[in-house]
Structure 1
């Protein structure tokens, strides 16, 4: 897994867009106290469920790989 050039910024943007998507869809309400890793995992699983991104093989699922997938997803949205 090759790290993207500006992956940190892309992940931050993906979390913001993912939260808006989840709340508009009525799937979740996030609290300010929710950690970034909880948000990343929920958004990743929601996007996989809605078939907007390809799921990772179960043995490769980790917070880091989910963050990478979200960064790729948001980079394609621009």
Structure 2
């Protein structure tokens, strides 16, 4: 599993971009009181449905693994010289 020094910041950015993606797909905004865990799972499942990311194996379907998948999804979209991708 590839490690990122700025993984928390990448996850935060992935949630923002994922929310915009979900809205563009016709889903509403997340409620204000939804937890980060639920946001991660909802966006993960949406990206799986849209075939934007490959699904995790059932035995690896945990919160940290889903968060890391969202970070990987974002990292592939960012340019190689993006500050958050630097170690």
- TM-score for both structures, normalised by structure 1: 0.92
- What is the number of residues matched between the two proteins? 78
Structure with bigger gyration radius = 2
SS at match of 1:34: coil
**Residue of structure 2 in register with 1:68 after alignment:** 68
**Residue of structure 1 in register with 2:82 after alignment:** none
Please, what is the CA RMSD of the aligned residues? 1.1
SS at match of 1:54: coil
Structure 2: stretches of 5+ with no match in the other structure = 79-87
Alpha-carbon distance, 1:29 to partner: 2.7
Residues 39-78 of structure 1: CA deviation (Å, up to 9, x unaligned): 0000000001100001000110001000000001101111
Q: Hey, what's the Cα distance between the residues in 2 that align with 1:28 and 1:59?
A: 30
The answer to whether 1:14 aligns with 2:14 is yes
**Residue of structure 2 in register with 1:44 after alignment:** 44
- TM-score for both structures, normalised by structure 2: 0.83
Structure 1: stretches of 5+ with no match in the other structure = none
